[in-house]
Structure formats: structure tokens, C-alpha cells
Amino acid sequence: MSQATLGDDEELFGEAANEMREDVEASLEEAWAALPAADDIWETDADNVLGVLNGLNSALDAGDAEDSLRDAKKWFTMGQRADAFDDADDLEEEIEALEEAITDISEAGEQVGELTSTIPALRGTLQDAGPEETTDGTDDDAEDDADEE
């Protein structure tokens, strides 16, 4: 190989490394943008607890963020193995922070999902608990106590 070819290869490698870093950064930016907004998980228009939980469960979706994170990790891993990045600590830290945010969102979604199925059953239990009401608005136990006197 001639010197000119080696110089061209280094230049091409440098360009590829820059493009790879830009791809990682773009994927990370897309992932952050795909996460739910803080207000989306904090504010609600629901009339009851189940409505709040259903709305929250819908807001806790990080699907597109997960896809973008996967792309970022793919290009980051490739760049690291090729030793293409001069300094990749910032990318690695951002990937870790994004993974943590997605994990937190996913775990919160699981907890909300459990509550979404538990609350209606709890409501039914509480509605069925206690003395039965008669058609005149009094409870049967009060009438039984009065009969015993």
C-alpha cells in the first residue's frame, strides 16, 4: 500500500468514527424525546382512581425510547470495539442514565398495572362488606337488634 492510500484510510476511518458518534448521539436524543413528559405522569383529568391509573399506565410507555436506546447501544458497541471513539465516557454515561430512566418507567408501569387490576376488586370487596341494606334505607342488622329487644 502506498502512503496516500494509508492516509486516505485514516481519513475515512476518522469520518466513519465521527458519523458513528453522531448516530449514537442522535439515537440517544430520540430516546430521551420518546420518554413520557413529567407532566404526562403527574397531571390527570380522570374522575376516579381507576381512570387515573389507566391514564398513568398509558403514559408509562417507553417503547420508542427502548428502540432508540437499542440503536444507540448498537452503534456505541460497534464504535468501542473498533476503537473509533477518542473519548466515549460521556456517551457511556448517557446510555446508562437512559437505561436507568427506562427501567424506572417500566417498573412503575408494572406497579400501576398491578394496582389497575387490584383496585376494582378491592372496591367490590368493600361494597360487598358490611351489613346489607334493605329497600327502606335501613340495614337488616339494626332491624334484627330492634326485634330482639
Query: One digit per residue, pLDDT tens: the chain, 149 residues?
Result: 445 555 688 888 888 888 999 999 999 999 999 999 999 999 989 999 999 999 999 999 998 999 999 999 999 999 999 888 888 899 999 999 999 999 999 999 999 999 999 999 999 999 999 777 656 655 555 555 555 55
**How confident is the model over 40-65, as pLDDT tens digits?**
999 989 999 999 999 999 999 998 99
Looking at residue 149, its amino acid is E
8 Å CB contact between 49 and 119? yes
Alpha carbons within 13 angstroms on the beta-carbon side of residue 4 total: 0
Say what the pTM is: 0.75
Q: What are phi and psi of 138, to 5 degrees?
A: -95, 160
